[in-house]
Amino acid sequence: MLVRPSSDDLRTIAFSLGTIFHIAGVAGVVPLLWAAFGREWAPLSSFALMIGVFLIGGSLLQRHPPASKTLEWSHGMVVVAVTWITVPLIGSIPLAMSGHFGDLLDAYFDAMSGLTTTGLSLLQDLDHLAPSLNFWRHLLHFLGGQGIIIAALSLFAGGAGLTLYYGEARDEKILPSVTSTARFIWGVALVHLVFGVAALALTAWLGLGFTPGRSLFHGLMIFFAGFDTGGFAPQSTSLGYYHSALFEAVTAVLMVAGAMSFGLHFALWRAPGRRRRGEPARRSTLWSLETRSIVATFGITLVLTFIGLAALGIHDSVLGMARQGVFHVLSAHTGTGFATIGSAELATWGGLAFGGMAIAMALGGMASSTAGGVKALRVGLTVRTVRDQMREVLLPERALMSRSYRQGGRRRELTPKVSQAVMTVSLLYVALFLLGAGVGLAYGYPLEAALFESVSAGANVGLSVGLTDPSMPVLLQVVYLLQMWLGRLEFAAAFVLVGFLWAWWRGR
Amino acid sequence: MMRRALATLLLLLLWAAPAGAQEDVVAVADLLADPASFAAPAVSSITVVGELVGDYGGRDGHVWTQINDDAYAAAPLLAGGSLAGGNVGIGVRIPDGLFSIARSDTPGGYRHRGPIVRITGAWRHHDPDRGGESYLDAETMELVAHEQPLDEGLRPIPLIVGVVLGAGGVALWIDDRRRARFR
């Protein structure tokens, strides 16, 4: 029998959601101050309205606190799923008021794309957008990538936050408590923020000849979009704007850092300390199944793309092909979505180049990172499962087989339950990609373009071959919105929300 | 009304001036749709007319910037122009000597329509000497129109509503904390 959620369940969910609204409102003060200092009065008004809605909404949601502060598994999942729908809704207020979007849905699309670190955009005339609004779009990447929920955990949730943490598709607890893990994640982000922005700004200032102020602006924007594998850019020509191999290289380092799991970050951060104490380096932590998987798939997709580009004959020089090939495959595989060529040219990458890019986008980065896609650990476990199945068939019937894999410095058992879970999520991703591609095909777009754009939306990448455009059909836009949301949450929280609503409607 | 008239005047300026050179002007949208067919050395030079936007990055005796020839160059949004899709632009490399005529103009951005220039040069498509980058290598440059400062004022109603809602939110939050202490 379905049990209808009690009023205390709803109050528990509303209370947590209220906390997240308050945090989002406080985050909105940063672009408001930016607008005030830049004397950008119209954006300032819209930021004030957005902050007001976040604060009053958060306080109203917390008006009737629950009797019990315990956040159960289903509560946390619902909070996460609703957060990722409502925060972009309110966060799109300044965008909608900017005059750079055709309608409210377009503005919501951009805010959802920002928060889910996708990077597809329907903004028109980006080159004349107010810097404070541009900053807000990129800050959405940072809030979504590092997780506003992670912020809530590190500040308020304490032990009750485990379910929120997992709900946001982060499956690796690095430190004993979720709160300390959340604080570590924000610590990593802030250290990268300082060094990343400094490296990019210095490159722009000394290498590209930009003014110091503009160098800092570009450094900050590209850091947010690169480290959080988002893909928005401050200018309409994305990374192609900079015409600099050095700038691309610095950005690539940040993209890789963003696609690395926080467990791997933790291991790398602790490595110097271990060396100082004379302890042996934990090679197994660094060279885990996940690391090997992502290195292998990056290599394979890069080779495919190189062969494809060579066959297309676009480039006269090997160096040019290598630079563009490596950057774009890295951008696709990490789920960032930066490009140094226009969408019209990317659309001409047919054959193996298309295949390499699409596969790289679909596979994505590491688990517990800011990247989207199927994720390297699932790819590795899928391959391991298939290999074990084949071995089982080939070995004598009574032979004993060890089924395990190395991850996070430990050997873990590859149980049928783990294999089943991995396969299920992987298949759901395939279904998600096919959904968008099918709708695109139904509207008459070519198969390759429809599939490319769908994978880009579902895997939260943001590379585009031109389908994502202000004139796109509304239904396709809604499907991409759904794909971005589902892809970011990796399905679980979304399914729990649907189940919760069903129980509310049909339960007793 | 005044802004619309100015925008129309600029459009006329763009299309009326130097009739001889007009025939060679390439639309950036056409260039991006088939970039290889305009590439040097097969095509010695092309002419693009548009707005300089973003930054002026000075390096190696050149200035790197972006030229847009979209609808916003002729009719910026803040001057009453309508939405017309994404920007349409390409990178351009201009020798320092040529660039002096536009250096004092602020590049296009928020509250600025950048200078409108007519640039003739070679379209370097995946230039092997620059690691495969594509850009317009300027040989001549002519200033068609100076930058145009634009204005966007405060919107009092959203600001007031936002402040009232925000203050209400904070007041409720404080009240909740106070009540929680007494429970």
Q: Cβ separation of B132 and A319 shorter than 8 Å? A: yes
pLDDT in tens, A106-123: 999 999 999 999 999 999
pLDDT at position B12 is: 46
Among the listed ranges A124-138, A236-250, A268-282, B165-179, which one has the minimum average pLDDT value? A268-282
**Which residues of chain B make contact with A22, given a CB cutoff of 8 A?**
173
Higher pLDDT, B86 or A508: B86
**Which residues, numbered 30 to 89 in chain A, qualify as contacts with chain B under a Cβ-Cβ cut-off of 8 Å?**
40-42, 44-60, 62-63, 65
Task: Give the 3-state DSSP-derived string for A97-121, with helices as H, strands as E and coil as C.
Answer: CCCCCCCHHHHHHHHHHHHCCCCCC
Q: Which of B166, B165, B167, B181 is nearest to A65 (CA)?
A: B181
**In contact, B144 and B14? CB cutoff 8 Å:** yes
Residue A272 is encoded by which pair of tokens?
Answer: 């110097």
Q: Does A249 touch chain B (CB under 8 A)?
A: no
For testing contact with chain B, the best of A11, A59, A214 (most B CBs within 10 A): A59
The amino acid present at A296, given as its one-letter code, is A
pLDDT at position B21 is: 45
pLDDT at position A151 is: 61
pLDDT at position A153 is: 62
pLDDT at position A272 is: 73
pLDDT in tens, A177-206: 777 777 888 888 899 999 999 999 999 999
For residue B19, the distance in angstroms to the closest alpha carbon of chain A comes to: 29
Pairwise CA distance, residues A147 & A145, whole Å: 5
DSSP summary character for residue A409: T
Of B83, B111, B155, the CB nearest to A124: B83
Q: Cβ separation of B173 and A62 shorter than 8 Å? A: yes
Q: Cβ separation of A99 and B156 shorter than 8 Å? A: no
Of B35, B77, B176, the CB nearest to A128: B77
pLDDT in tens, A5-18: 889 999 999 999 99
Higher pLDDT, A274 or B174: B174
Among the listed ranges A225-239, A257-271, A452-466, A485-499, which one has the minimum average pLDDT value? A257-271
In the predicted structure, residue A152 carries a pLDDT above the cut 70: no
Task: Give the 3-state DSSP-derived string for chain B, with helices as H, strands as E and coil as C.
Answer: CHHHHHHHHHHHHHHHCCHHHHCCECCHHHHHHCHHHHECCCCCCEEEEEEEEEEEEEECCEEEEEEECCHHHHCCHHHCCCCCCCCCEEEEEEEHHHHCCCCCCCCEECCEECCEEEEEEEEEEEEHHHCCEEEEEEEEEEEEECCEECCCCCCHHHHHHHHHHHHHHHHHHHHHHHHHHHC
pLDDT at position A169 is: 53
Of A97, A101, A243, the CB nearest to B135: A243
Pairwise CA distance, residues A54 & A48, whole Å: 10
A381: three-class secondary structure by DSSP: helix
Q: Cβ separation of B84 and A100 shorter than 8 Å? A: no
Mean pLDDT to the nearest integer, A281-303: 86
Pairwise CA distance, residues A470 & B82, whole Å: 13
Confidence of residue B137 (pLDDT cuts 50, 70, 90): very high
Mean pLDDT to the nearest integer, A446-452: 96
A47 CA to centre of own chain = 24
pLDDT in tens, B17-70: 444 444 479 999 999 999 999 999 999 999 999 999 999 999 999 999 999 999
Average pLDDT of chain A to the nearest whole number: 90
pLDDT in tens, B70-106: 999 999 999 999 999 999 999 999 999 999 998 889 9
Q: Which of A177, A167, A141, A184 is nearest to A17 (CA)?
A: A167
pLDDT at position B15 is: 47
Residue B28 is encoded by which pair of tokens?
Answer: 């950036």
For residue B166, the distance in angstroms to the closest alpha carbon of chain A comes to: 4
Residue A402 is encoded by which pair of tokens?
Answer: 């060890």
Which residues are paired to B93 by β-bridges? B64, B137
**Which residues of chain A make contact with B147, given a CB cutoff of 8 A?**
none
In the predicted structure, residue A267 carries a pLDDT above the cut 90: no
pLDDT at position B19 is: 42
What pTM does this model have? 0.92
Pairwise CA distance, residues A172 & A148, whole Å: 17
Pairwise CA distance, residues B137 & B90, whole Å: 11
pLDDT in tens, A495-504: 999 999 999 9
In the predicted structure, residue B161 carries a pLDDT above the cut 80: yes
**In contact, A467 and A461? CB cutoff 8 Å:** no
pLDDT in tens, A473-506: 999 999 999 999 999 998 988 999 999 999 999 8
So what's the ipTM on this one?
0.89
A411: three-class secondary structure by DSSP: strand
